[in-house]
Chains A and B, each alone.
Chain A
Amino acid sequence: MADEVTFFIDGRPCTAAAGDNLVEAAADNGVYIPTLCHYKGHKPLGTCRVCMVRVDGREAAACTFGVRDGMRVDVDAPELADARKALIELLFVERNHFCPACEKSGRCDLQAVAYHMHLTVPRFPYRYVPFTVENFAGKLLIDHNRCILCGRCEEFVRRGDSKVFAMKQRSSEARITVDLALLAEMSANEIAHAVHVCPVGAILAPGQGFDTPIGRRKYDTHRIGEITDGRD
């Protein structure tokens, strides 16, 4: 077992095993650092940057850091909170997020993090750029309007060692896509896992959604920072 070390969050002494993921170590010490791409217990992706904090005086994505003895982390500083909020706002304006019409509403991490940040309106103009919805053989839907390109599906949905999803193109042209041969072999449970891995409503199982009444959905009854085991 790794040595226990002491580090500091906003000046408060915290303890963790050396090398523990900073997002998870902070949560273990009662400090919620918002994140969208981090999937608890798995290797960090560092793609969404929403977990931006200051580590020893330097801005960084918390999920990409292991805890070191004496490490000083700023989370609460107003300029950091504002930078994290701006990143969430950029995601809301970049593609088309119409929560009232989304199957993932109430279970969506993007929405829940925005609630946590008290986001009522983005400071950036909405782009309203058209994106497609793809139906893959009636087994899987990908709604590119809602994709935040976090890469969780690419990294954490696999059949054996093979990745089922991949990112194609770059920048504003980037899209996730799925390996049709592997998809054809996937069971309903495996598809449910892919839907679960997606933090937003971009990956969906056809014919499913809106099954839990408003008021009883995951983030109707819990705030995102209160769920200590990461995801349900």
Chain B
Amino acid sequence: MDGTEAPHKKPILATVSLAGCFGCHMSLLDADERILDVLAAFELHRSPLTDIKRFAKRCDVGLIEGGCCNDENVHVLREFRENCDVLVAVGACAINGGLPALRNEIGLEACLTEAYLEMPTGAGAEGIIPADADIPKLLDRVYPCHEVVKIDYFLPGCPPPADAFWALLTALAAGRAPDLPTELIHYD
């Protein structure tokens, strides 16, 4: 390199699992040897895969797994929006709340009562609803990510197949808007 051209800058990728099960992250890893190409194309920053927990630099792409079920999820999601140029809601839970959102029809109080006070498996035990200040507070319901912050793209699936992650990330690395082929759009 003669010093006149800027060194090629890899796009920086961040990922997080909010109210999800890490299944979407597992599916990303399911790309087999193509995971090496992902790592060649992207620098991985804040992510459970690097164990980096704070943003130290601006990221190009943020992948959000899971919706928002508590105040910490909202805080982290907003942090991702502030620090990532492009945010992608990944998986059913990020898009419509997914299985955690089954509680949306029940109501928070009834949900906590059933889980901690009148649980069928705790007969005779004195129930306590956990309320320690260090525990994130549950929201009134589970929110899809796009109801909390602006989301740029959506990758459906439970989880999205590895090929869908691959199509998404190769498009974003090339600076293109992702356009999934029909066969990679799945809701389960």
Contact of A121 among B102, B154, B186 (CB under 8 A): B154
Q: Which of B106, B155, B188 gathers the greatest number of chain A CB atoms within 10 Å?
A: B188
Contact indicator B188/A121 (Cβ below 8 Å): no
Using a CB-CB cutoff of 8 Å, which residues 16-58 of chain A contact chain B? Answer: none
The answer for the CA separation of A121 and B98 in the assembled complex, in Å, is 13
For residue A98, which residues in chain B have a CB less than 8 angstroms away from its CB? 92, 96, 98-99, 101-102
Segment among B25-33, B46-54, B125-133, B140-148 that sits at the interface with chain A: B140-148
Contact indicator A128/B155 (Cβ below 8 Å): no
Q: Summarize B's interface: helix, strand, loop or mixed.
A: mixed
A100 within 8 A of B: yes
Using a CB-CB cutoff of 8 Å, which residues 95-140 of chain A contact chain B? Answer: 96-102, 105-106, 111, 114-116, 118-121, 125-126, 128-131
B177 within 8 A of A: no
Indicate whether A128 sits within 8 Å of B185 (C-beta atoms), given known contacts A120-B154, A121-B95.
Answer: no
Distance (whole angstroms) from the CB of B106 to the closest CB of chain A: 8
Contact indicator A118/B99 (Cβ below 8 Å): no
Q: Summarize A's interface: helix, strand, loop or mixed.
A: loop
* Nearest B-chain residue to A127, judged by Cβ: B104
Contact indicator B187/A118 (Cβ below 8 Å): no
Nearest 10 interchain pairs by C-beta = A99-B187, A130-B105, A100-B158, A120-B154, A128-B104, A121-B154, A100-B188, A105-B188, A99-B188, A115-B185
Indicate whether A126 sits within 8 Å of B97 (C-beta atoms), given known contacts A100-B187, A120-B155.
Answer: yes
Distance (whole angstroms) from the CB of A156 to the closest CB of chain B: 26
Distance (whole angstroms) from the CB of B19 to the closest CB of chain A: 14
For residue B66, which residues in chain A have a CB less than 8 angstroms away from its CB? none
The answer for the CA separation of A116 and B183 in the assembled complex, in Å, is 9
Contact indicator B92/A99 (Cβ below 8 Å): yes
The count of residues in chain A whose C-beta lies closer than 8 Å to any C-beta of chain B is 26
Contact indicator A118/B185 (Cβ below 8 Å): yes
Contact indicator B187/A126 (Cβ below 8 Å): no
B4 within 8 A of A: no
Contact indicator A121/B146 (Cβ below 8 Å): yes
The answer for the CA separation of A98 and B92 in the assembled complex, in Å, is 8
Contact indicator B188/A106 (Cβ below 8 Å): yes
Indicate whether A121 sits within 8 Å of B89 (C-beta atoms), given known contacts A101-B99, A129-B105.
Answer: yes
For residue B97, which residues in chain A have a CB less than 8 angstroms away from its CB? 126, 128
Indicate whether A114 sits within 8 Å of B105 (C-beta atoms), given known contacts A100-B99, A100-B158, A121-B154.
Answer: no
Indicate whether A118 sits within 8 Å of B188 (C-beta atoms), given known contacts A125-B147, A129-B105.
Answer: no
B180 within 8 A of A: yes
B156 within 8 A of A: yes
Contact indicator A223/B156 (Cβ below 8 Å): no
A214 within 8 A of B: yes
Q: Name 18 extra pairs, CB < 8 A, besides A99-B187, A100-B188.
A: A98-B102, A99-B92, A100-B92, A100-B187, A101-B102, A105-B188, A118-B182, A118-B185, A119-B185, A120-B153, A120-B156, A120-B180, A120-B185, A125-B147, A126-B97, A128-B141, A214-B188, A223-B182
